[in-house]
Chain A
Amino acid sequence: MGISYRSYIGQSSNHFSDTLPTPANGNLSFNTPVGSCIDRLGRVWVADTAHNRLVILDKTLEQVLQIYGTVGSGAQQFNMPFRLLAHPNKNWIYVTDIGNKRVHILNYDDLSAIEPINHFGNSATVELKGPNGIVYHEGKLCVADEFYEGENGESRLVIFDELGQYLYEIKAITGPTLDEPLHLLWPQGLSIDEKGLLYIANTGFNTVIRCDWKGQSMPFSATNKPYIDGLELARDVSVIQGRILIPGAEANSIAVYGLNGRRQGLLQGFFAPIQITAFPESNRLLITEPILASVQLHEINLRALQKDNQRSTLVLKSIGDERDQFGQLHFVTSTAGELSTLRPSSTPTLESPLERLIEQQQSLQEQVLKALQPEAMPAWLSMSLSWQTEWLQRWQRSWINLFIPKKELGTSDVLWMVDAGNYQLQASDKADVDSARKASLPLLPGSLGIVALKPSTPLPNQYHYDSPLLVVSNFLSGIVTIYQYYPPLDELIPYTVFGALGSEPWQLSKPQGIAVDPTTNDILIADSGNNRISRWRLNAAGIVGLVDVFGRLGDQEGEFHTPSDITVDMQGHCYVSDQFNNRIQVFDGNGQFLRSWGQAGYGSAGDNFLLPTSIEHDRGYIFVSDLVNRAIKVFNIDGQFINSFSGFGADQNLGQMWMPYLMHVKNGKIYLPDCALNRINLYQFEPE
């Protein structure tokens, strides 16, 4: 009864065959690394968050010196180690262990011995709900408690002494220039300047706030406001060389502000950077790129950024593999199809000798390319080369795959997965950790949602009618591609495409979830950037045409604020996860509003939602993946809560979630791709 976790798909490569120390190049695979710091011996510490461990490297990033921690809640264990902080005067490292809701203090010495001193934040005195960013100043620590729920839902900062003794908390930022207090919502990164002022990445409001250690606002002289706004995203902030660096404030870049709050410029050539740490050598920055599974050393003179100009850094070093080995997933976003059982099989998935040979050759290719590259490259060139190499290898592998005999995929009991980071569809016929394998030519970058569609009659040029067509949305280009199974090659190839980027009715902007209406076989798309739903029909001639669009930006009935996913029941009623309005809306087949349920709020059960991201219908039940609550919630079609499963963390034994994306449910089997954990969690729902 209820939802039970069964297993997962997605191989981790976190074992070292050699004794440590060992060269980082070719041996190190990160899984969404977030935090970093430099200790007093100049060594680099990285929080390899989804691998639940710390990786310690030498200051050149050439050698892995030590690996520390395993998954769990014991003294030397973590559940998503997130941010790291080196004590300035002692050989201590603080680690925010967000999944275990505590902070570790670790002692290190020059012999690479690491000993836990203490952990705090999970006692009766103070219970942290989501320790994220951490900073130190004059014997005190400040911890951003991201998921703390105050009286009106606000988060908080918690101040401790350096040994973890609770001192006080800050729930709102106040000051004479403010009409009303600034509230914190999901604060993540923290930083301090030379005077010890606090800078808070207040993610829920997309602002960076400046205040003192009592929560008194400290306005910027250029704006007379104690915050920087107009940011696309504010997940982190770093004050370095008298500049305020905000990664992701604009896509693919780091925004740079002066301490007066005036924008100085933009560092370009990144993907989705998070933590920026000042390196001991001047003008060097250590930057984590969680989605790329990489940690990079960059060189830039921040003082050269003035008058809002744009610069590219020099990349001196980049470590971490591509997460493209056999069985691995990299930023998996959605699934379609079905597995016959969610229990792992007893037979291992074997890599063919030819596939192994290709991987070895490509690994050699990467090493040769790296050896040929100059010591430092502009960030944009480094990123471009890295992507081009990745793409070249995808194409090589796809072409070679045509000649490798494989088990036929065109049968039933296949789960199709959009592996966006590897630009591929992958397929699996069993619920094994390492069972994913490549199944298509490279996809468009930005491929996101997928749904299976069975036409009522065979279509012209459809090669294998028994296999469903796969409809794949592309978040970046607004194009939707329909793939078909092609038996001679045992691959998926494009059948047709539709859509284009824009806001006209026949165009799409940031399309996410897709569904098929069982009563009409229409394709419905959550057109999130246009805040509407669009309905398309694949006719018997194999041509797709637009049927209808409904909805617009707003928070009234029938309006949307980033609709991220859609599902349709057997009556043709459409259920939409209206993400930023924190509710589910229901429409009839003509797009007329019928009802809605849900409101903003924390809760692992019930109809409180915080950014409900994905929705599915299966046999009379509605399943909602509630992002911030990290919960799968089951309702009846009237919106009455039935059951749920929740868990924030990275423990693969417990079915926990970090960044669950587009969920798929069929015959009670729940397939939940997590694009940060890089795996698909498999759950079974059994109604009462």
Chain B
Amino acid sequence: MSVFNKASKIRLKVKQHPVQIAEKTSQEAVMKVASISESDRLLNHFRDVISTSCQRDVDDDRLVDQLNQLQEAHQQLLAKQCLTGPQG
């Protein structure tokens, strides 16, 4: 078996049986719950901003306020995760 296939099989096995790393799994579960709620909150922010900006008599102060809140939500996400390029 080539070394590439061997490495792929090992990666696949780790993904298919994540419970093998029990300690890590519990950490991931906590992070995942937090991430889902954050994601939903951010999504709702977006929806609010979009609906506000589409209104004919848009209230500028309210829009700016919403945008500021959105910015804060982004910052919170930034502090927890990162984008590191093509996986591999």
Binding site for B on A (CB under 8 A): 150, 152-155, 183-185, 204-206, 230, 233, 248, 251-252, 271-272, 291, 331, 333, 380, 383-384, 387-388, 391, 395, 420, 423, 441-442, 444-446, 448, 461, 475-479, 481, 493-497, 500-502, 528, 553-555, 561-562, 564, 579-582, 600-601, 610-611, 613, 627-628, 659-661, 675-676
Contacts and interface: CB of A to CB of B under 8 A. Distances in A.
Given A154-B3, A391-B74, A553 B12 contact: yes
B79 A331 contact: no
Given A387-B75, A561-B11, A479 B2 contact: no
A204 B88 CA distance: 8
Given A205-B10, A579-B87, A610 B77 contact: no
A419 to B, nearest CB: 12
Given A445-B83, A496-B50, A502 B4 contact: no
Interface of B: 1-8, 10-12, 15-16, 21, 24, 32, 35-36, 38-40, 42-43, 46-47, 49-50, 53-54, 67, 71, 74-75, 77-88
A383 B81 CA distance: 12
A676 B74 contact: no
B86 A611 contact: yes
Contacts of A204: 3-4, 7
Given A555-B8, A661-B85, A152 B21 contact: no
B73 to A, nearest CB: 9
Contacts of A582: 4, 8
Contact of A500 (B39, B75, B77): B39
A580 B11 contact: yes
Contact of A600 (B5, B24, B88): B5
Contacts of B43: 479, 497, 500
B50 A502 contact: no
Contacts of B32: 502
Contacts of B38: 477, 501
B11 A497 contact: no
A380 B74 contact: no
A230 B79 contact: no
A380 B81 CA distance: 12
Nearest to B1: A152
A555 B3 contact: no
A271 B83 CA distance: 9
A581 B4 CA distance: 10
A185 B7 contact: yes
B42 A600 contact: no
Contacts of A206: 11
B3 A152 contact: yes
B46 A446 contact: no
Contacts of A613: 86, 88
Given A152-B1, A445-B74, A495-B50, A581 B8 contact: yes
Contacts of A579: 87-88
Given A152-B3, A185-B7, A494 B85 contact: no
A61 B62 CA distance: 45
Contacts of A252: 80-82
Contacts of A383: 79
A331 B86 CA distance: 11
B11 A476 contact: no
B4 A153 contact: yes
A445 B78 contact: yes
Contacts of B47: 497
